[in-house]
């Protein structure tokens, strides 16, 4: 796809050029974890970035379809694990399986973070963040802004990038919504 800068104006948007632009960035992949009332959650995330310098902020975007999003709404602390090229199996587990029917953490080596948020021992490049805001701008992902309260690792490593996991089929399609959305919606008699 060839993009002429001068040709970009409102109304000239195409799905193909948007996809080409975002694929060119080839973001590094992370696993975000959370826990609420003893229910552990975690998923593979490609939408994430540092979002402030002073003070430090790190933001992740969670799909409204995901178990991790629903648990995350009730969580204060989140684990953010930066995957390396050797972490494909971890990406596959957290990106293709859903916590709605499977405990992804069973059998994994874990360390408890603040409030018991599960941290993956095999993923040493990580931070723990405290949730400071949630922004739902109407899209299918919701921004969770975190204040980093702990960091580990950070030495030079080769990140696992989106191009390396392109064939994974997400455990939840981003258009999925748990149903019924409320108990009353599922029972018209109420
Ligand atoms: C390459 C790739 C990138 C993904 N990026 C995100 C993301 O940025 N945010 C998100 O919430 N889910 C993302 N997902 C989807 C979840 O990781 C996936 O649906 C997972 O199985 C959901 O698990 P859960 O229901 O236990 O939370 C991505 C999946 C893949 C394969």
Q: pLDDT tens for residues 153-177?
A: 978 999 999 999 999 999 999 999 9
**Cα of 174 from ligand 1 centre, angstroms:** 8
**Cα of 17 from ligand 1 centre, angstroms:** 23
- pTM score of the predicted model: 0.93
Higher per-residue confidence, 187 vs 36 = 36
Q: Which atom of ligand 1 is nearest to the CA of 48?
A: 8
User: Is 61 near ligand 1, meaning CB less than 6 Å away?
Assistant: yes
Across the range 58-71, mean pLDDT stands at 97
Residues of the chain with pLDDT > 70: what percent? 95
Q: Which atom of ligand 1 is nearest to the CA of 95?
A: 17
User: Is 79 near ligand 1, meaning CB less than 6 Å away?
Assistant: no
Cα–Cα dist 157/145, whole Å: 25
Q: How far, in Å, are 7, 23, 24, 186 from residue 10 at the CA level? A: 10, 21, 21, 41
Q: Other CB atoms closer than 10 Å to residue 189's CB: what's the count?
A: 4
């Amino acid at each position: 796809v060839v993009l002429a800068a001068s040709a970009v104006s409102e109304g000239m948007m195409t799905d193909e050029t948007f996809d080409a632009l975002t694929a060119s960035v080839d973001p590094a992949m992370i696993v975000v974890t959370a826990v609420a009332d003893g229910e552990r959650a975690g998923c593979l995330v490609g939408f994430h970035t540092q979002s402030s310098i002073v003070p430090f902020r790190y933001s992740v975007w969670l799909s409204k379809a995901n178990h991790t999003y629903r648990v995350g709404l009730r969580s204060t602390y989140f684990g953010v694990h930066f995957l390396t090229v050797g972490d494909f199996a971890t990406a596959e587990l957290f990106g293709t399986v859903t916590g709605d029917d499977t405990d992804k953490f069973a059998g994994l080596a874990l360390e408890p973070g603040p409030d018991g948020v599960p941290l993956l021992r095999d993923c040493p490049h990580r931070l723990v963040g405290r949730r400071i805001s949630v922004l739902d701008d109407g899209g299918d992902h919701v921004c969770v802004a975190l204040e980093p309260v702990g960091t580990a690792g950070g030495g030079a490593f080769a990140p696992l990038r989106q191009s390396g996991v392109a064939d994974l089929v997400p455990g939840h399609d981003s258009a999925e919504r748990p149903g019924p959305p409320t108990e009353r919606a599922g029972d018209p008699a109420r």
